[in-house]
Structure 1
Amino acid sequence: MTRVARPGRNLAAGLLLGLGLVAFVDEVVFHQILHWHHFYDRATPEVGLVSDGLFHAFSWFATVAGLVLVSSLRRDRAFWSRRFWAGLLTGAGFFQLYDGLVQHKVLGLHQIRYAVDLVPYDLTWNVVAAILLVIGLVLIVTTQRTARGAAAGA
């Protein structure tokens, strides 16, 4: 099986695209459309805008890198959708949980919103993140077994 020969690249493509897409949605929806916060809210609005720009550049870099990997895998007929989705869900869940716990709570770079009760926002943000992460990790484990089984049979 050609696709099993590249489980790491399929996983990496999904991880990058998952990170990039969730960061992109966060930036567009919460930073630009709703104006709820900046990536870094502990300084002037100008610094917040610069931090948003850098965050946006990161999200695009990860998204484009993931898409380039997907394109390469498809060209080589090595794209493995289940392994890719394992990475995408893991990357999305990891980024969102890291954002919700580390950036919001530990480092205090920003909050989801200000001047509201944060409990419902924090619970929703982190529970959705944990669900995405757990589903992605389960898929990683199951696809890893498939990859090992195919490699042993080769």
Structure 2
Amino acid sequence: MTSRSNNILSGALLGLGIAAFADETIFHQLLHWHHFYDKSTPAVGLISDGLFHAVSFFATVASLYLLSTLRRRGDFHPRTWWGGLLTMAGVFQLYDGTVQHKVMGLHQIRYDVDLTAYDWTWNIIAALLIAAGVALLARSRVAVRA
């Protein structure tokens, strides 16, 4: 892999880890709005949350390991790395809000309320994260050519 792709991968893994951690911590644990999988018992929901948290933790550890390797080799490019992080955080959130919430119906953001404002907010934030990340990735590609 190239230095650029390793920077993107490291940032993307941390973006995934951060987005999943924020979702898990805020919506699953603090607000108790949903579990990763709500189509069964609360015990199954807790197990699914634990597995979800483990995956996000391993993504974070892998990202930081790769980041330390990039920095040690002098190959760390902050703009490219941040572009990967923001893009993946947005992709995760958009995937969660569309595929998991709507297509698969694994869970909703919240229950027993009108979801319109929640869904729009969730997906607009995702789109903004993706747009910011893609813009950084495009600018980092131009900066490398210059």
Q: TM-score range by the shorter chain?
A: over 0.9
Q: Distance in 1 between matches of 2:31 and 2:61?
A: 25
1:78 to partner: Cα distance: 1.2
| TM-score calculated relative to the size of structure 2 | 0.95
User: Which residues of 2 match residues 19-34 of structure 1 at below 5 A?
Assistant: 19-34=16-31
Of 70, 76, 79, the residue aligned with 1:79 is 76
Q: Distance in 2 between matches of 1:90 and 1:128?
A: 11
Alignment correspondent of 2:13:
16
Q: CA deviation digits over 1:51-96, x for unaligned, max 9?
A: 0011000110111111111111111111110000000000100000
Alignment correspondent of 1:66:
63
Aligned CA-pair RMSD:
1.1
Alignment correspondent of 2:140:
143
Alignment correspondent of 1:6:
3
Alignment correspondent of 1:43:
40
Counterpart of 1:141 in 2: which secondary structure? helix
Alignment correspondent of 2:53:
56
1:117 to partner: Cα distance: 0.9
Letter paired with 2:14: L
Q: Distance in 2 between matches of 1:30 and 1:67?
A: 25
Count residues in correspondence: 145
Q: Distance in 1 between matches of 2:65 and 2:88?
A: 16
Specify the structure having the higher radius of gyration (Cα). 1
Q: Distance in 2 between matches of 1:108 and 1:144?
A: 38
Alignment correspondent of 2:117:
120
Letter paired with 1:83: T
1:142 to partner: Cα distance: 2.2
> More deviation in 86-95 or 68-77?
68-77
Q: CA deviation digits over 1:6-25, x for unaligned, max 9?
A: 11111111000001101011
1:101 to partner: Cα distance: 0.5
Gapped runs of 5+ residues in structure 2?
A: none
Q: Distance in 1 between matches of 2:18 and 2:62?
A: 12
